[in-house]
């Protein structure tokens, strides 16, 4: 592969199945260290989709903007299935950060939480150091001294890099199913601009927002995963994003989410 391409690689953490029981998992029910307010939208409980124990996942601070202790719990609205391009989608997902090393227990589930709003199986996770690469949509292959055939080889390289396992990931470049402009979409939609058509992108407000620092980081890329019956649309992915400036302060209360599928 072209050395200029390899130089674009960004370190990240890949989340893979653990053969041992861990406090990091996708599916099932949450495990917490103390009381917490179950996230809700329109007075309805969001579905729980997984959690990460950062002491297990990021002990050496390989992702420098992510804490090395505490837990992150992830929730999603299984009724409305928000895509994240509409500012009105806010509240259709949530992350809850718990600090401390308390013994974990399973909290009482909200009475209005439908059983189908919990993924039916559990997948215990461990992290592996990984190198992610930008999607080909964002690359100018000609300027990198590559031809069209090289571009096809690049996509094959990306596929081989991941292998056949689901692409669950923290940090680095996302694996877009559709457009590779998620940082901009997060910036605009969280700033009140509808991104379902080109009108919002061309507005003066959008230009002002895009002129600001785009410090969005990939907090969790949750791929469709047959093993736990997680299917995001048609073989899609959920992408939780957080501002680096917030994450550095252990503030995960204002994430933005994007759903993409084929």
Give, for 237, the enclosing helix (H) or strand (E): strand 237-243
Q: How far apart are CA 233 and CA 98, in angstroms?
A: 29
Domain boundaries in the chain?
Answer: 3-260
Tell me the CB-side half-sphere exposure of residue 149, using CA atoms within 13 A.
0
DSSP result, 239-257: EEEEEHHHHTTT--SS-EE
Q: How far apart are CA 221 and CA 172, in angstroms?
A: 10
Q: Percent of the chain scored above 90 by pLDDT?
A: 79
Mean pLDDT of the chain: 93
Per-residue pLDDT for 6 more than 90?
Answer: no
Per-residue pLDDT for 149 more than 80?
Answer: no
Counting every residue, how long is the chain? Answer: 262
Contact assessment for residue 57 and residue 64, using Cβ atoms and an 8 Å cutoff: no
Contact assessment for residue 125 and residue 22, using Cβ atoms and an 8 Å cutoff: yes
Q: Which residues pair with 118 in a beta bridge?
A: 48
Q: What is the pLDDT of residue 179?
A: 87
Tokens of 173: 């470049």
Q: How far apart are CA 115 and CA 157, in angstroms?
A: 40
Q: How far apart are CA 217 and CA 206, in angstroms?
A: 20
Contact assessment for residue 81 and residue 60, using Cβ atoms and an 8 Å cutoff: no
Confidence of residue 77 (pLDDT cuts 50, 70, 90): very high
With 0-12 CB in 10 A as exposed, 13-18 as middle and 19+ as buried, what is 211? exposed
Q: How far apart are CA 193 and CA 2, in angstroms?
A: 38
Q: What is the pLDDT of residue 1?
A: 65
Tokens of 58: 């990021």
Does 2.30.320.10 match the CATH number of domain 3-260?
yes
What are the backbone angles phi and psi of residue 87, rounded to the nearest 5°? Answer: -55, -25
> CB under 8 Å to 112, separation ≥6 — which residues?
44, 45
Per-residue pLDDT for 189 more than 70?
Answer: yes
Contact assessment for residue 207 and residue 201, using Cβ atoms and an 8 Å cutoff: no
- pLDDT tens, position by position, 154-174: 888 888 988 889 999 999 999
Tokens of 234: 């048609």
Residues 62-81, mean pLDDT to the nearest whole number? 96
- pLDDT tens, position by position, 196-246: 988 889 899 999 999 998 999 999 999 999 999 999 999 999 999 999 999
Residue that is written with structure tokens 């050395």 in the block: 3
């Amino acid at each position: 592969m072209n050395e200029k391409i390899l130089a674009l690689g960004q370190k990240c953490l890949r989340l893979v199945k653990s053969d041992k029981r861990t406090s990091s998992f996708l599916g099932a029910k949450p495990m917490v260290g103390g009381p917490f307010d179950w996230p809700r939208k329109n007075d309805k409980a969001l579905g729980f989709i997984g959690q990460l124990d950062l002491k297990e996942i990021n002990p050496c601070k390989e992702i420098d903007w992510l804490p090395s202790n505490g837990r992150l719990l992830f929730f999603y609205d299984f009724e409305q299935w928000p895509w994240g391009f509409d500012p009105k989608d806010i509240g259709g997902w949530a992350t809850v950060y718990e600090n401390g090393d308390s013994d974990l227990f399973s909290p009482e589930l909200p009475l209005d939480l439908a059983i189908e709003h919990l993924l039916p199986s559990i997948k215990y996770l461990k992290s592996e150091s990984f190198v992610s690469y930008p999607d080909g949509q964002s690359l100018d292959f000609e300027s990198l001294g590559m031809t069209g055939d090289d571009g096809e080889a690049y996509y094959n390289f990306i596929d081989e890099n991941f292998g056949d396992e689901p692409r669950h990931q923290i940090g680095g470049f996302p694996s877009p199913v559709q457009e590779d402009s998620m940082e901009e979409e997060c910036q605009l939609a969280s700033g009140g601009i509808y991104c379902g058509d080109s009108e919002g992108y061309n507005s003066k407000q959008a230009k002002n927002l895009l002129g600001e620092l785009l410090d969005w980081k990939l907090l969790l890329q949750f791929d469709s995963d047959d093993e736990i019956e997680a299917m995001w649309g048609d073989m899609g992915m959920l992408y939780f994003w957080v501002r680096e400036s917030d994450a550095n302060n252990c503030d995960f209360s204002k994430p933005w989410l994007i759903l993409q599928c084929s």
